[in-house]
Amino acid sequence: MKIFAAVLFLLILYSLGSALYYMYNDKGNSTRMVRSLSIRIGLSLFLFIVMMIWYRLNMDTDCLDMAADCLDMVTD
């Protein structure tokens, strides 16, 4: 998951850099900057959603492990 998040973060930075490049070179004559920023927003939202789901799945397994430990302490 860490590698996936790092790669996605690098893609987000690349998209932001390309938007900056298009802003200076196109002089407002093209929509490439807007498209690049839209891609950045989409990637950021995707990364946020994936991280929220990943956190939720890990939290559930941690809670199950903790509940099993509590049950073991009660039965001993």
Residue 57, pLDDT score? 83
Residue 46, pLDDT score? 95
**Mean per-residue pLDDT for 1-22?**
91
Give CA separation, 73 vs 19, 61, 66, in Å: 57, 19, 11
pLDDT tens digit string along 14-53?
999 999 999 888 877 888 889 999 999 999 999 999 999 9
Question: Does residue 60 carry a pLDDT above 80?
Answer: no
Q: Which two tokens stand for residue 63?
A: 């809670």
Return the closest-CA partner of residue 38 out of 53, 21, 52, 18. 18
Other C-beta atoms within 10 Å of 22: how many?
19
Residue 66, pLDDT score? 60
* pTM for the predicted model, two decimal places: 0.69
